[in-house]
Structure 1
Amino acid sequence: MIFFFRRRFPKTLAKPSVPALPLIRTAMSSSDSNRVFQLKVDPMTGTSEWVVIDDRDAAADENEPTPPHSSSCCPELGLLATTSYLDMLNDSRRNRAFREAIDKSLQKPCRVIDIGAGTGLLSMMAARAMDLGKESVARSSNEGSVTAVESYLPMGKLMRRVLRQNGMESVVRVLNKRSDEIEIGVDVKSQADVLVSEILDSELLGEGLIPTLQHAHDKLLVENPLTIPWRATVYGQLVESRYLLKCHDLSGCEAEAQDGVRLVPSGMEGLIGVKAQQHPMHLNAIRNEIKLVSEPFKIFEFEFWKRPESNGKTSFNVKAIGSGQMHAVVSWWDLQLDKEGSIFYSTAPGWIASSDNSCVRNWCEHWRQCVWFIPGRGLSCHASDNIRFHAVHDATSISYFLEPDQPQIVVEKHNFPPQDSITLSPERIAIYGDSQWRACISKAIENAMRRRKPSLCVVADDSIFLALLVAHFSEATTILAVFPGLRKRGINYLRAVAGTNVLSINRMEVLKKRTAQLTLLDTHHKLIDLFVAEPFYCGHEGMLPWQNLRFWKERTAIDSLLSEKALILPAKGLLKICAMSLPDLWNSRHSLGSIEGFDHSAVNSTLGACDEANAYGPCLPFFVWQSGEHKELSEAVVVMEFDFSKCISPCNGKVDVKFTKSGICHGLVLWIDWVMDAEDSIVVSSGPRQRFWKQGVRLLPNPVAAEVHKSAGSSHLSVEASFDPSSGELLVTHVIT
């Protein structure tokens, strides 16, 4: 058996809202169909396994009903339901712009290739524009043809279903390959005249746009082809924002904390930070917290109709429009879809006038604006100052560098090797710098230490703050950190900051084993007195709230190593639920019918759409405060309680969620409040009013009218939830009463 690893792009491996996982294609005997193995990570253990995605296709299940959403019975369904494909297909402005450009540009038969075809929507638009018909006929090389290229096998299977439903299966040819695997004369007869494609992410380049276009122009397209889109332009603007500053300046924010712990001691600012990249965000959500320091300016222009270069750079002056502090560069792109320049799509924030003359822009998750953080506290400027702006791009990303008019004060910093520095998400940086959050965690640890001085503490997650905090409060405690995501970087970090924090590194150790494999030999023949977590797992920030219960499973695995009166922090977890109005989020994931004249109802169950046939669709992680219009319609109520003093076990709960405000209820928002102490006095909430945590959102099949009557009482939802510790899945059902 021969294994071939597949690269991340083109687009179909980058569309998932969770990190893309590796795929392996196997070459089987001729009697077997091709199969793809996809790596699936168990969030409750951190372990991974390969799941089989079988290439059973079209003819075999043509008459079978669309299966319900179930990741257990059919792995690819669970994978597709967590992607942003549904959100993209519900973007009516995007769909209309592509349809208008295709109808305008393809008025005679030609050879079209669609790279990263998804459900085949653009391929069907091209076939219809050329009037290829719905019957399979022999065509000469001068007649029109459409080839849809889709490398992601689950999506390729779904595309064939959509093509059959629209009578286009014999008109659009599907190739389940990467575009750079296609050979002229083998996979297709000749080079294409037209490239129709949408392989764009929020940054523009992250889904492999440049290498895909390079190969297409080198191998797959005729000279001077027509492309849809025709070009893309990246714009930027300098802004001041206290919120954005919190998301990257841990050193400055930490200075306000009173706990005595310094995660980034003076001179070590480069030890922890956000990755130097563009970070997608919904900037309209913080419009009132953004001060514009410059006018918008053009950064790069990418022509799709000619072969792009892998690298590029530009420099120019940007004039400040007022005094302030430049904390970030925000960027977006405008897409020109037709050659003449009459059809556009823009991802610009709401304060920018729409380039497509549309006053209303539908909220969408698949494309956001991007933020590039200016290091440190930012750069100060005054009105009419010239800021020298530098931008460079490689094959997949864009980077920025600024030079102010006046020289800034330079702070000498240590240069840490990459293996020692820790990169975190902007939200995690903000949490670590939040003085209120730090005060709650510090108080919980201090209270625990006051009750009993532990001789051995285990930090179960990736919390470097907890490791330093326990050492700060007790000089006699030995600390064993699991650091499942940080590993060696974790101990290197502790060594770097121990001296400045006046701590002995000899009392701190990072375990090299998984928790379930620990023995008394690993704990130096001591029982564990204190078992702590925030909980936080590096690289899992996009997980659902209850998937952080991994630490409970870790606690269960070492139950025999816990002392009789061992303290577990947090002590409890309260699964809370709130009914909310979420019109923008619901509209982005509602069931699909006709999209620009093509029936897409076949994809609803597989993509986890909101409809009656998919009554128990997936819970998905979102920053609710960034999910467009939102409004709480009920109080937050506890539906389930997790007792961490006991071993992990299945949990069930039932509660009535009574509406306290009138409106339209689109879904249930779930999160966990972490009770940090046994006295229930210190609670850290991860609810929708907290900006730095994602919540779980269970959208309703159909919106429900929330009615509040003083005399007759309020309508409500009866909600049941059950938690399966073996998989980390939470099943939520509701009944309207």
Structure 2
Amino acid sequence: MSTFVSRISPVTGRLEWVMQSDDYDYHQEVARSAYGDMLHDTERNKLYEVGLKHAIKWMHEKGKQAFVLDIGTGTGLLSMIAVRAGADKVVACEAFKPIAECALKVIEANNMADKITIIKKRSTEMNELDLGGRANILVAEVFDTELIGEGALGTFHHACSELLDQNDRIVVPSAAHIICQPVSCPFFRGWHEFKEIKIHDDKNYEHNRANNNTSSSSDTTAEASTTDKCSSSNQSSSRCKFISPPKKVKCCTGAPSVHDVQLNRLAHDHFLPIGDPKIVFSFDFTETSGGPLKFIEHESVNFQAVNDGVIDCIFMWWQLKMDMNGEVILSTAPRWGHPTPNDMQWRDHWMQAVYYPSKVQKVVRGQEFKVNCHHDEYSLWFDLSHPDVISSSSTSKMLVDHDQSTGSSDNRGPGCTCSAHIACSRTRVAMLNDVERNRKYIRALKKVINEDSVCFCTSDDSLLPLIAAKLGAKKVISLQPNQLSRQFLQSYVEANDLQNCVKVVSSLEDEQLKKENVNIIMGDPYYSTSLLPWHNLHFLYAKTELINYFSKPKKAKKKKSVHSDVTDNNIDGSPIFFADQTKDLSGDNLNLKAPSLLSRGDGLVIFPCSASIRAIAVQFENLHKLRGSPVNICEGFDLRPFDQLMSYSSDQSDAYLEPHPLWEYPAIPMTEDFELLFFNFDPNACIVGGVRQLEREGLVEFISSGTCSGIAVWYSINTALNDQTDETDFANDNVLIGGLLSPPQPGQTLNWDPYSRQGVHFFKIPQVVDDGKFRLKFKTVFQPKTGEFEFKFSVISCKI
């Protein structure tokens, strides 16, 4: 059955009702369980098999039966490997019931139903009676990027205490090491620390400002006395060369969540090693050599600088000992720290992590320094031990002894105290710090901002209002409905002494706002509710509403308009207008013209001026394994029941496109990039609303032979007035690209914007294509009334 559920449209911002299956949440949880990624991890599967073979052989050599407990069995793969390796008894537990049912089907399909028992419980809810006695071999894969984030410490400790033989037991893996490396990496530091933004960075601007001031000198006194304008003191002191982050933002330790990332995609010149990688924590999962696992530890680890530099980031990864002797190692290290850098397994379920010390530290080669390393039961955090900071060793000892059984302590690690790191995601922080992006915004705004500019900004967590104020705007209003976003922006306003120029409001309910003679509506555009790139087209709806809100209709003779049906086509009384053009199959830009009623927008500047949704067909190196690549046979076992479950659940719950940071995932182009839709933001080309749809379809030639595994879709904006340059011009200084940064070259890895996520459609079965024999067919439909997009991509033979 299906029912109506309410949701807020990220594009229109309106409440809407949609039909949703009663089992939607169930299928979404199944589809997002990421088992497919693990099953494609060949190295993981093979090394677990090596560990199990060693353990089972060891038990048999001692004259004992090999009784294997598989915790978190998933599809049952490790249990079946144990049976194949000679285990005498296998019991597996799986708390996620849909997957437990799937495991039963997989085991039956492989004729092992009489050899493996599945218990649908968490291991921590079990005792030896559930098992029919204590096992002597434990195999478990309960790890995440931080190793311990899925409760590995508690899981292994409980198993050793309650479920395993107390005399002879083997755990696969037997142990783990956490490794960290201090580095200098301004690239990643920019995802954490808010930077200053330079404003007056070109001589032409200063020259133009000087000329403008000379020509309008007679108005200087009046301007200084106008309350709506920034004070003369502000003009001389606050309108300086920088927008500075508030002190409390600078001092904040930032978001406590781990920053997991594919470090292998980090360019060599984007970081400098300051210390060699070093083991900072070790865990004996058998609890035989070092006693019970410690849920809380604090270590101060000595390093020696191998380069001059500033330590601003700490990289982390881990490794597992898959056998009892520690000779079989599974490593999640990046290429420069990996034991076999030329033969590395790609995986997305375990990545590397970046941590940010509260203060950076400058060192010279050969200098010794310390990294303070901490973990509780579920998380890690790191900091630098500065010479001027009193040692916390006594506190650390107290915390270690505080409560080993629960892992509780008073030291919770880093946490945001300034609200900025909560209001802004790491990607948004990096976007705000992007020098090139800011340069383009500043360059474009200089052409439209003057001393009479009254600006209204509709973007979340945007610093454009401060940039506009620094460039000389008379007044800037920023709409920030979210309280944390208001606090974030208001703190910036006060830190830069712009209270007289920038006003932060929570809504349009303030009647005084209507009196403002707004002549510039602007935005990044960026909205925190946007998951996919084109969700930021909410700007289209927001600016249309603002045009209506601030409009001052001129008196005119009554005359029947050729667009007299505009009012009848309004949606729910909203200030929305339809487009004259509804379909374009010719390949030209959608030149979306609005009714003449919008002449009331005369003299109004919309910034940015236009947006384009673009796409390209790609061959992913690995990313398609997450969604579009069935497992079929894995390590010799038939996993097709799992494929069927994943496929069905994906069909029920997955969107046609999903967001991914493609800079982390290598791909080569299969086609040139092409445009799906174009949107003109000009006041006289407003295309929101109405009952008609915008539609575009076409065929695209493949430029390479290979396997087309998916389509990448992104969103670009143009900041220049009357700029007719196509957004395919990668050198266009007016275009801010949220996707492909350079022209695609056959066989060459694509270059993506790291500060945006792109939409990705995965073909269920990757399509093998020959250049010249196949084409990509696309169709894009936009419903202005609902803000919904429909995308369709398919590979067709040229014979069709």
TM-score range, shorter chain: 0.7 to 0.9
Q: CA deviation at 1:345?
A: 0.8
Give the equivalent residue in structure 1 for 2:137.
Answer: 194
Query: Structure 1 vs Structure 2: percent identity of aligned residues?
Result: 23
Aligned partners of 1:643, 1:468: CA distance in 2, in Å? Answer: 25
Map Cα deviations across residues 294-353 of structure 1 (whole Å, 9 max, x no partner): 222111111222242221021232112232333322121111122232322111111224
Alignment of 1:105-124 (within 5 A): 105-107=55-57, 109-124=65-80
Are residue 578 (structure 1) and residue 616 (structure 2) matched? yes
Give the equivalent residue in structure 2 for 1:422.
Answer: 421
Q: 1:147 aligns with which of 86, 92, 95?
A: 92
Give the equivalent residue in structure 1 for 2:353.
Answer: 370
Aligned partners of 2:365, 2:173: CA distance in 1, in Å? Answer: 38
Q: CA deviation at 1:674?
A: 2.0
Are residue 720 (structure 1) and residue 783 (structure 2) matched? no
* Letter in structure 2 aligned against 1:479: I
Which has the larger strand fraction?
1
Give the equivalent residue in structure 2 for 1:283.
Answer: 263
* Letter in structure 2 aligned against 1:692: Y
Alignment of 1:364-443 (within 5 A): 364-375=347-358, 378-403=360-385, 418=417, 420-423=419-422, 424-443=424-443
Alignment of 1:281-360 (within 5 A): 281-289=261-269, 290-306=271-287, 307-354=292-339, 359-360=342-343
Give the equivalent residue in structure 1 for 2:688.
Answer: 647
For structure 2, which runs of at least 5 residues remain unmatched after alignment?
203-238, 391-413, 552-599, 726-733, 741-751
Given that 1:520 and 1:561 are in contact with CA atoms closer than 8 Å, whether structure 2 keeps it comes out as: no
Aligned partners of 1:274, 1:49: CA distance in 2, in Å? Answer: 37
Q: CA deviation at 1:148?
A: 1.9
Question: What is the TM-score when the length of structure 2 is the normalising length?
Answer: 0.70
Q: CA deviation at 1:129?
A: 3.5
Given that 2:138 and 2:164 are in contact with CA atoms closer than 8 Å, whether structure 1 keeps it comes out as: yes
Give the equivalent residue in structure 1 for 2:179.
Answer: 235
Aligned partners of 2:619, 2:487: CA distance in 1, in Å? Answer: 46
Q: CA deviation at 1:192?
A: 4.2
Aligned partners of 1:126, 1:416: CA distance in 2, in Å? Answer: 43
Aligned partners of 2:6, 2:43: CA distance in 1, in Å? Answer: 34
Q: CA deviation at 1:93?
A: 0.7
Q: CA deviation at 1:369?
A: 1.6
Aligned partners of 1:160, 1:569: CA distance in 2, in Å? Answer: 58
Aligned partners of 2:721, 2:28: CA distance in 1, in Å? Answer: 37
Aligned partners of 2:243, 2:150: CA distance in 1, in Å? Answer: 34
Given that 2:778 and 2:791 are in contact with CA atoms closer than 8 Å, whether structure 1 keeps it comes out as: no
Q: 2:642 aligns with which of 594, 597, 603?
A: 603
Give the equivalent residue in structure 2 for 1:98.
Answer: 48
Aligned partners of 1:344, 1:582: CA distance in 2, in Å? Answer: 28
Give the equivalent residue in structure 2 for 1:465.
Answer: 463
Would the alpha carbon gap of residues 208 and 551 (structure 1) be closer, same or farther in structure 2, given more than 3 Å must change?
farther
Given that 1:271 and 1:422 are in contact with CA atoms closer than 8 Å, whether structure 2 keeps it comes out as: no
Report the 3-state secondary structure (helix = DSSP H, G, I; strand = E; otherwise coil) of the residue aligned with 2:326.
coil
Report the 3-state secondary structure (helix = DSSP H, G, I; strand = E; otherwise coil) of the residue aligned with 1:117.
coil
Map Cα deviations across residues 619-642 of structure 1 (whole Å, 9 max, x no partner): 3322222214x3234332102224
Q: CA deviation at 1:437?
A: 0.8
Would the alpha carbon gap of residues 271 and 110 (structure 1) be closer, same or farther in structure 2, given more than 3 Å must change?
same
Are residue 704 (structure 1) and residue 702 (structure 2) matched? no
Would the alpha carbon gap of residues 190 and 677 (structure 1) be closer, same or farther in structure 2, given more than 3 Å must change?
farther
Map Cα deviations across residues 233-272 of structure 1 (whole Å, 9 max, x no partner): 1112222334234333433676897896855447445367
Q: CA deviation at 1:451?
A: 12
Map Cα deviations across residues 476-495 of structure 1 (whole Å, 9 max, x no partner): 54625234xxx222232333
Give the equivalent residue in structure 2 for 1:593.
Answer: 632
Aligned partners of 2:701, 2:612: CA distance in 1, in Å? Answer: 18
Are residue 87 (structure 1) and residue 85 (structure 2) matched? no
Q: CA deviation at 1:169?
A: 5.0
Q: 1:548 aligns with which of 536, 540, 546?
A: 536
Alignment of 1:429-508 (within 5 A): 429-447=429-447, 449=449, 453-454=453-454, 457-459=456-458, 461-472=459-470, 477=475, 479-483=477-481, 487-504=482-499, 508=503
Give the equivalent residue in structure 1 for 2:110.
Answer: 166
Aligned partners of 1:117, 1:591: CA distance in 2, in Å? Answer: 19
Would the alpha carbon gap of residues 283 and 219 (structure 1) be closer, same or farther in structure 2, given more than 3 Å must change?
same
Report the 3-state secondary structure (helix = DSSP H, G, I; strand = E; otherwise coil) of the residue aligned with 1:464.
coil
> How large is the Cα RMSD of the aligned pairs?
4.3
Given that 1:205 and 1:397 are in contact with CA atoms closer than 8 Å, whether structure 2 keeps it comes out as: yes
Aligned partners of 1:204, 1:49: CA distance in 2, in Å? Answer: 41
Report the 3-state secondary structure (helix = DSSP H, G, I; strand = E; otherwise coil) of the residue aligned with 1:341.
coil
Given that 2:6 and 2:15 are in contact with CA atoms closer than 8 Å, whether structure 1 keeps it comes out as: no
Report the 3-state secondary structure (helix = DSSP H, G, I; strand = E; otherwise coil) of the residue aligned with 2:491.
helix
Report the 3-state secondary structure (helix = DSSP H, G, I; strand = E; otherwise coil) of the residue aligned with 2:153.
helix
Aligned partners of 1:690, 1:527: CA distance in 2, in Å? Answer: 37
Report the 3-state secondary structure (helix = DSSP H, G, I; strand = E; otherwise coil) of the residue aligned with 1:647.
coil
Would the alpha carbon gap of residues 551 and 191 (structure 1) be closer, same or farther in structure 2, given more than 3 Å must change?
farther
Larger deviation: 254-263 or 631-640? 254-263
Map Cα deviations across residues 662-688 of structure 1 (whole Å, 9 max, x no partner): 655433221111234553473211113
Are residue 636 (structure 1) and residue 700 (structure 2) matched? no
For structure 1, which runs of at least 5 residues remain unmatched after alignment?
1-37, 55-72, 133-143, 409-414, 708-712
Q: CA deviation at 1:360?
A: 0.9
- Return the index of the structure with the highest Cα Rg: 2
* Letter in structure 2 aligned against 1:397: S
Aligned partners of 1:46, 1:379: CA distance in 2, in Å? Answer: 48
Given that 1:277 and 1:399 are in contact with CA atoms closer than 8 Å, whether structure 2 keeps it comes out as: no
Aligned partners of 2:17, 2:296: CA distance in 1, in Å? Answer: 37
Aligned partners of 1:451, 1:656: CA distance in 2, in Å? Answer: 49
Give the equivalent residue in structure 1 for 2:214.
Answer: none
Give the equivalent residue in structure 2 for 1:668.
Answer: 711
Question: What is the TM-score when the length of structure 1 is the normalising length?
Answer: 0.75
* Letter in structure 1 aligned against 2:27: L
Report the 3-state secondary structure (helix = DSSP H, G, I; strand = E; otherwise coil) of the residue aligned with 2:688.
coil
Given that 1:238 and 1:294 are in contact with CA atoms closer than 8 Å, whether structure 2 keeps it comes out as: yes
Which has the larger helix fraction?
2
Q: CA deviation at 1:728?
A: 5.2
Larger deviation: 670-679 or 314-323? 670-679
Aligned partners of 2:304, 2:147: CA distance in 1, in Å? Answer: 25
Would the alpha carbon gap of residues 721 and 50 (structure 1) be closer, same or farther in structure 2, given more than 3 Å must change?
closer
Would the alpha carbon gap of residues 255 and 160 (structure 1) be closer, same or farther in structure 2, given more than 3 Å must change?
farther
Are residue 213 (structure 1) and residue 156 (structure 2) matched? yes
Give the equivalent residue in structure 1 for 2:192.
Answer: 248
Given that 1:273 and 1:422 are in contact with CA atoms closer than 8 Å, whether structure 2 keeps it comes out as: no
Aligned partners of 2:789, 2:708: CA distance in 1, in Å? Answer: 24
Aligned partners of 2:197, 2:70: CA distance in 1, in Å? Answer: 48
* Letter in structure 1 aligned against 2:440: C
Report the 3-state secondary structure (helix = DSSP H, G, I; strand = E; otherwise coil) of the residue aligned with 1:122.
helix
Aligned partners of 1:256, 1:213: CA distance in 2, in Å? Answer: 58
**Count of residue pairs brought into register by the alignment:** 643
Aligned partners of 2:542, 2:500: CA distance in 1, in Å? Answer: 24
Aligned partners of 1:79, 1:159: CA distance in 2, in Å? Answer: 16
Would the alpha carbon gap of residues 126 and 643 (structure 1) be closer, same or farther in structure 2, given more than 3 Å must change?
farther
Q: CA deviation at 1:46?
A: 9.5
Q: CA deviation at 1:706?
A: 5.1
